[in-house]
Amino acid sequence: MSQDTGLIRRGLLLLAMMSALVTVVLTIMFQRPRQALPVEQGTPEYLAATLVTPASAYPASLGWAALYQVGDASPSATGWEIRYNAAWALARLGSDRVPWTLFREMLDEQRQMRNFRVQLEDGRNVPDEAKARETVLLALRALSDWHAKRKEQQRTDVPAELQASVYPLVDRLATSQVALLKVEAEKARSTFLR
């Protein structure tokens, strides 16, 4: 019997040591260093906090300039992927119903950087540059296709909105530091009906 109690004591001691070891290992595994992530002042969350100033009554208390900045710093409205696909399809067909204001948004590289975000392991939310630039490239190619279809149809009329708002964006992209964007913008410019 004395052997059995000694064996039981050693077993319980071994179990307690294993439990302590498991507790230490799990604590180390799941413990993360607590770091305060820097708040980017250009994010919509930061700007939204600056909207309301409690100094006066309602209409004056709303920071109207900050509201405009929130709109500029925010990604596109929900459903933008669907609208972009529809706009690309219309442009590739050479349609008269292409929403050029949407194309202006599609060609805005900074807006696309806000639309395409990825969260890193450390918790930071950063732009997915590859997907953002792919959207701009697809818009440039669709714009070239639209002009090619118009030339096939022997139509030289160009909507005023296209000339006034989209052509300048393509001209700006033609001076981009990103070689692929620059080349594709130059190709698109060569098809323009100016």
Mean pLDDT across the chain: 82
pLDDT at position 37 over 50: no
Prediction pTM value: 0.64
* pLDDT band, very low/low/confident/very high, at 26 (cuts 50, 70, 90): confident
Whole-number Å distance between alpha carbons of 35 and 43: 19
* pLDDT tens track for 118-174: 988 888 889 999 999 999 999 999 999 999 999 999 998 899 999 999 999 999 999
* Length of the chain as a residue count: 194
Alpha carbons within 13 A on the beta-carbon side of 75: 14
User: Which residue did the predictor score with more confidence, 23 or 67?
Assistant: 23
Whole-number Å distance between alpha carbons of 135 and 184: 12
* pLDDT band, very low/low/confident/very high, at 39 (cuts 50, 70, 90): very low
Measured from the Cβ of residue 63, the count of other Cβ atoms closer than 10 Å reads 16
Q: Mean per-residue pLDDT for 26-52?
A: 58
Contact predicate 170/147, CB 8 Å: no
Pair of tokens at residue 139: 């818009």
Q: Name the residue ranges covered by the structural domains of the chain.
A: 1-30, 40-74, 76-191
pLDDT at residue 103, rounded to an integer: 93
DSSP line for 61-90:
HB-HHHHHHHHHHS-PPTTHHHHHHHHHHH
- Report which residue type is found at 32: R
Contact predicate 156/193, CB 8 Å: yes
Residue 96: phi and psi, rounded to 5, are -80, -10
pLDDT at position 67 over 90: no
